[in-house]
Amino acid sequence: MGSVQIEESSLSAGRQASEKPRLPGLAPLARLLRPVHRHLFICAALSAAAAGAGLVPYIAVAELARAVLPPNSPASVANVAWASVGIGAAGAALRLVLVFLSSRIGHYADAEMLHHIRSRLIRHLGQLPLGWFRARGSGAVKKAMTDDLEEMHQLIAHALGEMIGASVAIIAGLGYLAFVDWRMTVVTAAVLASMCVFYRIAMRSMTHHILRLIAAEEKISAASVEYADGISVVKAFGTSGKVLDRFAEAVLEYKLAMRDWVLETRFSSAASRLLASEMTVLGAVMIVGLPLIAAGHLNTSSLLPFLIVGIGLPTSITPAVQGSQGLRKGRVSAAHIESLLSRAPLPEADEPLRPHGHHIEFDEVRFSYDGKADAIAEFSAICEPGTVTAIVGPSGAGKTTIASLLPRFYDVTGGAIRIGGVDLRSMDAATLLSSMSLVFQDIVLLRDTVTENIRIGRPNASDKEVRAAARAARIEDVIERLPQGFDTLLGAQGTGLSGGERQRLTIARAILSRAPIVVLDEATASLDPDSEVAVQEALAELTRGKTVIVIAHRLHTVMGADQILVLDHGRVIERGTHEALLGKGGLYARLWAAQHSGAQQ
């Protein structure tokens, strides 16, 4: 039943994609290639010259064959033979040199271009709002950074040179054959033109099918990443079947797209391949040429170039076809990359302001993820320096959304958030983020040494300062027990460290930053009691004398907060100290009673 549903949904997707999209223009590709256009021009010129030089040995052989036929004398044959051998050898040697230079320059341009595009993508992605990543997933980013750049590599390093070289070889070859006999040239060109007609028929809907395959590939990438990220949950609960449904649906959609393309082009593609074979050209030349020779309208010596040079022309067709396909794919990839680069980042102020102090004001803040329902509504609060503000409430109340709005992962849709009297939207990103330390429940460690993972908090910090931050976070002893101490290489999951130890490592990072504002989002929610005690000690060191906002689920961790804001459905329904809120007997008191009774049991 599941496979039937997948089949139906995929076929439905195929019907939705039946509206044929247009192939992106050359403009996006031209803009991306602009930094290396001079290198590409030189590469193209060398490829064209190499193609012409590569044709010289075949022409030399053809002329030598014509020379040995009567009525030429042996003396003249000897002169022509040596000249042909010399010219052919020189052409072959020159071709090798030109191909080497063209490949070298093409690959240099490729490396330069990929570095430039990757750098632009990384810088731009860093400026996009976090909501864009959550909406699109990692599939689009992975496709741009790997699949699209691979297509660009094939285009720059291989396809452009091959396509230009093959085109020059065909034009130069036909030009030489026309000089020998125009009638046989027409026959040869007619075969190649027929091949082009059938190829055009086969590729008439190539853009539609390529874009459909690319969409399926993006879904496969997103599903693969999703499956890999959640593999522990999948194995723990034995739900691989359900989790793989999305992956299976994407794979099936890719298969159906490929099947549709193959079925549509099977006859025209076979005909174009048949016409592009050397044997087809040979047959056409012999069928027309032999009767002309028998009738005395064509010399045998004039037929030989078509048997030597003419039948070799189809071998240039394949690189030209592959190059044109590479150009099409490159245009699609360039358009996708440019669509990412054109995504509007969070707007920056033309004349950024610097905050005066570090008190935080939430002024009638509203925020919506979808532009329809408010996740946060009329949220107002003031957080003074040296105080702790706790934000609590049931799941889905909007606590983590508040934590995401403060560092401007999203922009508010109404009201304003101010630091030191300055609206976040009037501050530049560097000033804003350097003013706060963020410690989230989801721990992110880089694939680097312990020292460098802590040093992210302040890249210019010395090793001594890194160790001091680790000591303040109660993690130095743990680090010293690692195989290489502070030089131990960590993975994304913090290999060799427990959850509480990884959390203390991120706290050390925050301590090192010396930021005057600290935002803690469920920093101890998933820790065992022993780890929580150690983390709470580290947090006490981190938050001393700073403006602190704590997003908490465990209410006993915020009993000493200067003010507690109780959220429900994005609105503040209660505020006060722990004792005052318990006395009101409202939502906070009910949450406290529920957690306290659970702990008692």
Q: For residue 14, what are the contacts with CB-CB under 8 A and spacing of at least 6?
A: 212, 253, 256, 257, 260
Radius of gyration of the chain (CA): 35
> Which among 429, 422, 419 is positioned nearest to 358, based on CA atoms?
419
The pLDDT of 202-224, averaged and rounded, is 77
The pLDDT value given to residue 418: 93
The pLDDT value given to residue 456: 86
Architecture, CATH, for domain 360-600:
3-Layer(aba) Sandwich (3.40)
Extents of the domains making up the chain: 9-16+25-341, 360-600
Strands (E), 352-494: 360-367, 376-383, 388-392, 414-419, 422-423, 436-440
pLDDT digits (tens, 9 = 90+) for 420-460: 989 998 988 888 888 888 887 777 788 888 898 889 888 88
Residue type, position 589, single letter: A
Q: How open is the CA angle 554-432-561, to the nearest 5 degrees?
A: 25
The yes-or-no verdict on residue 481 having pLDDT over 60 is yes
The pLDDT value given to residue 75: 60
Q: What share of the chain has pLDDT > 90, as a percent?
A: 12
When mean pLDDT is compared across 67-81, 179-193, 267-281, 555-569, the lowest value belongs to 67-81
The pLDDT value given to residue 5: 39
Highest mean pLDDT, choosing among 89-103, 127-141, 472-486 = 89-103
Q: What share of the chain has pLDDT > 70, as a percent?
A: 86
The pLDDT value given to residue 495: 61
The yes-or-no verdict on residue 84 having pLDDT over 50 is yes
The yes-or-no verdict on residue 96 having pLDDT over 90 is yes
The pLDDT of 219-241, averaged and rounded, is 64
The pLDDT value given to residue 3: 39
The pLDDT value given to residue 530: 60
pTM (predicted TM-score): 0.64
Q: Are 553 and 522 in contact (CB under 8 A)?
A: yes
Rounded Cα–Cα distance for residues 432 and 353 (Å): 10
Cis peptide before 314 (omega within 30 of 0): no
Q: For residue 529, what are the contacts with CB-CB under 8 A and spacing of at least 6?
A: none
Decide if domain 9-16+25-341 falls under CATH 2.170.190.11: no
The pLDDT value given to residue 527: 55
Query: If you average pLDDT over every residue of the chain, what do you get?
Result: 81
pLDDT digits (tens, 9 = 90+) for 524-550: 655 556 666 766 777 777 777 788 888
Locate 426 and state its tokens. Answer: 């009037």
The pLDDT value given to residue 131: 66
The pLDDT value given to residue 137: 56
